[in-house]
Chain A
Amino acid sequence: MENLDAARLQMAFTLIFHIVFACIGMVMPFFMVVSHYKWLKTRDQIYLTLTKSWQKGVAIFFVTGAVSGTALSFELGLLWPEFMKHAGPIIGMPFSLEGAAFFVEAIALGFYLYGWNKLPEKFHWFTGIIIGVSGVASGILVVAANGWMNAPSGFDYIDGKFLNIDPIQAMLNPAWFTQALHMTLAAFTATGFAVAGIHAYQVYKKRKVELHKKAFKIAITFGAIAAILQPISGDISAKDIAVRQPVKLAAMEAHYNTEKGAPLYIGGIVDTETQEVKYKIELPKMLSFLAFGDFDAEVKGLNDFPEDEHPNVAIVHYAFQIMVGIGSLLLLAGILYFISLKRKKWFDNRKYWLLFVILAPLGFIALEAGWIVTEVGRQPWIIHKIMRTKDAVTPMPGIVFSFYMYVAVYLTLSIAVTWLMLRQIKVLNRSNH
């Protein structure tokens, strides 16, 4: 394997894992504080049991997220030293703020986990809020740094040198808001549906039904609201990319030839040789409308750009289809949940619970697919139109071994965390409430 490919695979692999850990660690505190709030309000013992069970989940995911994040903060430099040498100072701002937010989160977590019966009740609960808020802030800041790679700004690029650096402008790059909004909603959707699905399974299996129903409701409410809002954010992102990264948009849609009134392809198999998409559903003029809000707008095709600036069209196209497809499905499921609140009978139907069990992993699949669109879609650039990925990679050969090592460690870690969560649920089901 080429060094560059190994480095890209390692980065992709570690990010795919980190994203899952980080999202859960960022969103679950919100479920936890809602349950905690209900305990303080109602003094219903079930909520206390649930809060304590979720806090263990938060602790485990916070740590796995934190250590995989620590590894990533080094990996950026270890794998892409040339990138960090130039980009480090420019996008340092969101990273240093992220460090601060992360620190606040760790401090708040220390208070929360060890504060039961020691701290004043309300203050204790409030430290839970701080965990959640600083977690989301961390996420937004890191995404802002990624936004800069897609929309580099805050410097002048003259003769291969980065001059007149403005770190604040770099942080507030044109992509930061659209990406951060999309990612935050995605994190809530994915975690909401995943956690709800786990509890739905317990209801389906008729274990501790009352407790798991309460847990399900809290988690799915967050997930459903985020899923319903997500299309709005998706639309903003699409319109933004159409202007800023037309190659990426073209790859997402496997759109080869520039045309006015471009059709939208749904699904299909990409043939890069003949530049055709087979077995697709075609919606006339929809791509032009979605990208520019005008049915007859011109959408640039891949052939308008030099071939050495194309990403892998098939991967980007499929990943995009997966993301949008699942997103639409979860939107419907979100609406279904709110209808079910009016139709209480549904809660007695086992199929209702089975449905949410099946939906559990989908949010995260969509979220990963979305990141594949963003990252693979930006290739061959590591900094859009400024630096190519192949020029940033480390000169150290043999990265493939480090890749294998990370695969082994992270796979083991995931199995271990899953196993630990299963044991948590087992004990929860044995508890008195």
Chain B
Amino acid sequence: MLYVVLFFLIFSLYLYVVLGGADYGAGIIELFSSEENQKITKKTIYRVMGPVWEANHIWIIILIVILWIAFPAYYNIMVIHLHIPITIVLLGVTLRGVAFVFRHYDAIIDNSQQLYDTMFKVSSLVTPIFLGMVFGALISGEIMVVEDASTLSFYEAFIRPWCNIFSVLVGLFFAALCAFLSSVLLIGESEGGNENIYIRKSTIAAIVVFVVGLVTFGYGYFSGNIFVLDFIKDPFTMILVVFSAVLLFPLWKTIKNGNKVWSRFFAGLQVFLILLAALISHFPNIIITKTGSISLMDNIAPDAVINVLGITLIIGGTVILPGLFHLLKSFKMIKILERNSTSN
């Protein structure tokens, strides 16, 4: 059952990164668009994200609930030392969700739209950066775990773990990844020759992802980050990363041919490979502290808990996944498939 729980943990992490990430990315794209393109993007986002965005963001709740039920000791370190960035993420999630609904459900369209738009765009950028910083913090080697946190200074215990160059770089990398995913998604959803806007955006985003990724690795390597050193040493993870980079070519080709389903598949696969590489290189020691590393498998909840959780997840999954698939299919895929078949 432990493996079922682990599967769902990684599965919801992946889905959150891809679906939630594309969702954040949409706001980032809108932020970095000209005024005219912003209007087009706003409309497209509403059409594409409207029915599904809430579902996209529930994955993080599933993720966090699995963490606290099955891996309480691990969760404990996160919520104590990363209190501040997690709070900022929550603030971002709140403002962003509210702004999205306000701008589409306000009965009267007037100047307040500008406020909603700004709230939506800015929080779309800030939230994934801090989320990425949380990921970065876990592997930065800056977290100090001691019996009594009051023996450390406030800076050592609650600021340095996440407020360091490496974590910030990971944050930027994650935000760029979101923008990349979203632009690939939006290519397939734009209408009336607007595809080119998003093709351009996806190219820029891909370059940013590549450059920031390289800088992050470079910095990690030269500053002796254990995670990065292990990552590079492990041939298997390097193969995954290279493979992910190679996928840019078929991705580019499918985008040019207007094959929306395959282009999304390739973009999703790339993210999956990157995530897999990151997980594999250090699994299960996912928290790297100043003094060593903490395994996800340390202090696991008792078997009875894991078993019940596993069964719940299987049942929940069989109810939810078909429904979710149907939702996506009803509003997204059908449209794409129809358009593909008519254009052929």
- B304 contacts A56, C-beta separation under 8 Å: no
Sort chain A's interface into a size bin: 35 or more
Cα distance, A78 to B252, chains bound together (Å)? 43
- B58 contacts A106, C-beta separation under 8 Å: yes
Best-surrounded residue of A62, A110, A114 (most CB of chain B within 10 A): A110
User: Is A102 in the interface zone, CB < 8 Å from B?
Assistant: yes
Q: Which B residues are in CB contact (< 8 Å) with A114? A: 50-51, 331
Distance in Å from the Cβ of A345 to the closest Cβ of chain B?
A: 35
Distance in Å from the Cβ of A14 to the closest Cβ of chain B?
A: 10
- A167 contacts B304, C-beta separation under 8 Å: yes
Interface residues of chain B: helix, strand, loop or mixed (majority)? helix
Q: Which A residues are in CB contact (< 8 Å) with B302? A: 89, 165
Which of B80, B108, B148 contacts A426, CB < 8 Å? B108
- A59 contacts B68, C-beta separation under 8 Å: no
Q: Given A99-B58, A420-B102: A110 and B305 within 8 A (CB)?
A: no
User: CB-CB contacts of B62-80 with A at 8 A, as 1s and 0s?
Assistant: 1011101110110110111
Cα distance, A378 to B319, chains bound together (Å)? 37
- A88 contacts B312, C-beta separation under 8 Å: no
User: Is B246 in the interface zone, CB < 8 Å from A?
Assistant: no
- A394 contacts B54, C-beta separation under 8 Å: no
- A102 contacts B58, C-beta separation under 8 Å: yes
Cα distance, A66 to B94, chains bound together (Å)? 9
Interface residues of chain A: helix, strand, loop or mixed (majority)? helix
Q: Which A residues are in CB contact (< 8 Å) with B102? A: 60, 416, 420
User: Is A279 in the interface zone, CB < 8 Å from B?
Assistant: no
Distance in Å from the Cβ of A106 to the closest Cβ of chain B?
A: 4
Cα distance, A214 to B108, chains bound together (Å)? 24
User: Is B211 in the interface zone, CB < 8 Å from A?
Assistant: no
Q: Which B residues are in CB contact (< 8 Å) with A164? A: 304
User: Is A63 in the interface zone, CB < 8 Å from B?
Assistant: yes
User: Is B35 in the interface zone, CB < 8 Å from A?
Assistant: no
Residues of chain B from 236 to 278 with CB closer than 8 A to chain A in the complex:
none
- A396 contacts B149, C-beta separation under 8 Å: yes
- A84 contacts B91, C-beta separation under 8 Å: no
User: CB-CB contacts of A16-40 with B at 8 A, as 1s and 0s?
Assistant: 0000000000000000000000000
User: Is B313 in the interface zone, CB < 8 Å from A?
Assistant: yes
- A110 contacts B54, C-beta separation under 8 Å: yes
Which of A111, A398, A413 contacts B98, CB < 8 Å? A413
Q: Which B residues are in CB contact (< 8 Å) with A168? A: 308
Which of B70, B316, B327 contacts A97, CB < 8 Å? B316
Cα distance, A392 to B48, chains bound together (Å)? 43
User: Is B13 in the interface zone, CB < 8 Å from A?
Assistant: no
Q: Which B residues are in CB contact (< 8 Å) with A167? A: 304-305, 308-309
Distance in Å from the Cβ of B123 to the closest Cβ of chain A?
A: 11
Distance in Å from the Cβ of B53 to the closest Cβ of chain A?
A: 9
Best-surrounded residue of B54, B62, B87, B108 (most CB of chain A within 10 A): B54
Q: Which A residues are in CB contact (< 8 Å) with B91? A: 405, 409
Number of A-B contacts (CB under 8 A): 202
- B61 contacts A89, C-beta separation under 8 Å: no
Contacting chain B: which of A43-51, A68-76, A227-235, A314-322? A68-76
- B86 contacts A59, C-beta separation under 8 Å: no
Q: Which A residues are in CB contact (< 8 Å) with B65? A: 73, 92, 95-96, 99
Cα distance, A76 to B148, chains bound together (Å)? 20
Q: Which B residues are in CB contact (< 8 Å) with A108? A: 323
- B68 contacts A100, C-beta separation under 8 Å: no
Cα distance, A420 to B75, chains bound together (Å)? 37
User: Is A81 in the interface zone, CB < 8 Å from B?
Assistant: yes
Cα distance, A168 to B307, chains bound together (Å)? 11
Q: Which A residues are in CB contact (< 8 Å) with B98? A: 63-64, 67, 413, 416
- B90 contacts A63, C-beta separation under 8 Å: no
Nearest CB in chain B to that of A107: its residue: B323
- B327 contacts A62, C-beta separation under 8 Å: no
Which of B57, B68, B95, B316 contacts A92, CB < 8 Å? B68
Best-surrounded residue of B150, B319, B323 (most CB of chain A within 10 A): B323
- A84 contacts B108, C-beta separation under 8 Å: no
Cα distance, A95 to B68, chains bound together (Å)? 10
User: CB-CB contacts of A403-428 with B at 8 A, as 1s and 0s?
Assistant: 00100010001001000100110111
Cα distance, A73 to B11, chains bound together (Å)? 20
- A103 contacts B55, C-beta separation under 8 Å: yes
- A88 contacts B94, C-beta separation under 8 Å: no
Nearest CB in chain A to that of B50: its residue: A114
Distance in Å from the Cβ of B61 to the closest Cβ of chain A?
A: 5
- A74 contacts B51, C-beta separation under 8 Å: no
Nearest CB in chain B to that of A421: its residue: B107
Q: Which A residues are in CB contact (< 8 Å) with B196? A: none
Nearest CB in chain B to that of A76: its residue: B68
- A427 contacts B90, C-beta separation under 8 Å: no
User: Is A113 in the interface zone, CB < 8 Å from B?
Assistant: yes
User: Is B233 in the interface zone, CB < 8 Å from A?
Assistant: no
Q: A60-B102, A63-B100, A64-B98 are in contact. List 18 more A-B contacts (CB 8 A).
A: A60-B101, A66-B54, A76-B68, A78-B86, A78-B87, A84-B68, A92-B68, A92-B69, A95-B68, A102-B61, A110-B52, A110-B54, A111-B327, A405-B91, A413-B98, A420-B107, A423-B106, A426-B107
